[in-house]
Amino acid sequence: MKIMFCWKCGNEINEGDKFCTKCGAQQFKVCTKCQKRISIFDGFCIYCGEKLIVPKAVQKPKQKQKDQKNFKTYSFKFSNIILNASKRDEINKWLSENNVIIHYLKPRFYLNTFCPGKWQASIDTLDILYEPAETNQNYYFEYASVSGWIKRPTEKLEKIYNDWKETHPEYQILWKKEADFQTTRSEYVMSIFVLCKKIEQK
């Protein structure tokens, strides 16, 4: 049984646990159409596109003031001159230099067309809601980008994602987000972003 970490409080839970045993936060939901697990924050299924109902409690998480007193927000604002690889490195540098427990990620995306031939669904801003931790939590931020004609290259992107998971068994996926855009020449550009945590070997 793999160990996971609650997105809200960082508590260790077992893979497949729908709720955190410490704070009670829901960890995932199941698409009503394709029955696949997806993020509780997604309004649409990333696999089949089904529109989903997002409970108000999930749309805008509310916590008691006493629980929020140590929470802080760190915001990344990126230049459109650089692509996702450099942005990933900047995020990981911050994660490696700061002892934090991450509670929430809020990204904003756009179509980066600065580099011809290398268009990407790219990160514009990323807000990280966190609280200080005594030790480094071994977070790692990763991405993959693909493009395709006629239809969205969803299967190609998902294969890259699954291949990465198989070759990096030491990392547990905590957060996953996709972004896609269509260019003026009908090319689809897609990216996937994940936040992982390295599992300590026992």
Most confident of the following: 52-66, 133-147, 187-201: 133-147
> Is the pLDDT reported for residue 59 higher than 80?
no
pLDDT at 65: 45
What is the pTM (predicted TM-score) of this model?
Answer: 0.66
Q: How far apart are the first and last CA of the chain?
A: 13
pLDDT at 101: 93
Q: Domain limits of the chain? A: 1-62, 65-198
**CB contact set of 25 (below 8 Å; sequence gap of 6+):** 6, 7, 8, 9, 19
C-alpha 168/C-alpha 172 separation (Å) is: 9
Rounded to an integer, the average pLDDT of 104-132 is 91
Name the token pair of 164: 């990465």
Name the token pair of 117: 């031939």
> In terms of Cα–Cα distance, which of 82, 74, 136 is closest to 107?
74
